[in-house]
Amino acid sequence: MHGYSTPLRDMRFVLHELLGAERLSGLPGYADATPETIDAVLEEAAKLAENVLAPLNRSGDEEGCVYENGVVRTPRGFKEAYARFREGGWTGVSAAPEHGGQGLPKLVNFVLEEMFSSANFAFAIYPGLSQGAYNAIQLHAEEGLQRIYLPKLADGSWSGTMCLTEPQCGTDLGLIHTRAVPAEDGSYRLTGTKIFISAGEHDLTSNIVHLVLARLPDAPTGTRGISLFVVPKFLPVRRNGGWEAGARNGVRCAGIEHKMGIKASSTCTMQFEDAVGWLVGEPHKGMRAMFTMMNGARLAVGLQGLAAAEAAYQKARAYARERLQGRSLKGAAMPGEPADPIIVHPDVRRNLLTIKAFVEGARALAYWVGYHLDLQARHPDPAERAAADDLAALMTPIVKAFLTDQGFTATNLAMQVFGGHGYIRETGVEQHVRDVRIAQIYEGANGIQALDLVGRKLGQNTGRLLRRFFHPMAAFLEEHGKDPTLAELLAPLARAFGRLQQATVLIAQKGLKDPEEAAAAASDYLQLFGYVALGWMWARMAVVAREKLPRANGEASFYDAKLQTAHFYMQRTLPHATAHFAALAAGKDSLMVLPADAF
Q: Which residues are catalytic?
A: 443
Amino acid at 28: P
Q: How far is the CB of 256 from a second copy (least distance, A)?
A: 10
CB 131 within 8 A of CB 123: no
Nearest Cα to Cα of residue 102 among 21, 159, 158, 156: 156
> Residue 141 or 343: which CB sits closer to a second copy?
343
> Residue 79 or 576: which CB sits closer to a second copy?
576
Q: H/E/C letters for each residue in 318-346?
A: HHHHHCECCCCCCCCCCCCCCCCEHHHCH
Q: How far is the CB of 174 from a second copy (least distance, A)?
A: 8
> Residue 388 or 506: which CB sits closer to a second copy?
506
> Residue 307 or 413: which CB sits closer to a second copy?
413
> Residue 125 or 522: which CB sits closer to a second copy?
522
Please list, in sequence order, all residues whose beta carbon lies within 8 angstroms of the beta carbon of residue 118, skipping any fewer than 6 positions away: 4, 6, 49, 307, 308, 310, 311
Q: How far is the CB of 442 from a second copy (least distance, A)?
A: 6
Q: How far is the CB of 5 from a second copy (least distance, A)?
A: 13
CB 178 within 8 A of CB 215: yes
Q: How far apart are CA 371 and CA 536, in angstroms?
A: 16
> Residue 176 or 228: which CB sits closer to a second copy?
176
Dihedral sign of CA atoms 55, 58, 60, 63 in order: negative
Q: How far apart are CA 163 and CA 270, in angstroms?
A: 8
In this structure, the strands spanning 251-256 and 207-214 are unpaired
Q: How far apart are CA 6 and CA 46, in angstroms?
A: 6
Q: How far is the CB of 403 from a second copy (least distance, A)?
A: 16
Taking CA 528 as the corner, what is the angle to CA 527 and CA 530, rounded to the nearest 5 degrees? 60
Q: How far is the CB of 2 from a second copy (least distance, A)?
A: 14
SS3 (DSSP) at 184: coil
Q: How far apart are CA 299 and CA 449, in angstroms?
A: 11
SS3 (DSSP) at 482: coil
> Residue 213 or 373: which CB sits closer to a second copy?
213
Q: How far is the CB of 270 from a second copy (least distance, A)?
A: 14
Please list, in sequence order, all residues whose beta carbon lies within 8 angstroms of the beta carbon of residue 72, skipping any fewer than 6 positions away: 65, 66, 201, 202, 203, 253, 256, 266, 268
> Residue 353 or 395: which CB sits closer to a second copy?
353
CB 243 within 8 A of CB 237: yes
SS3 (DSSP) at 210: strand
Q: How far is the CB of 378 from a second copy (least distance, A)?
A: 35
> Residue 425 or 482: which CB sits closer to a second copy?
425
Q: How far is the CB of 345 from a second copy (least distance, A)?
A: 7
**Run of H or E including 594:** none
> 517-552 burial, b if ≥16 CB within 10 A, otherwise e?
bbbbbbbbbbbbbbbbbbbbbbbbbbbbbbebeeee
Nearest Cα to Cα of residue 364 among 529, 535, 493: 535
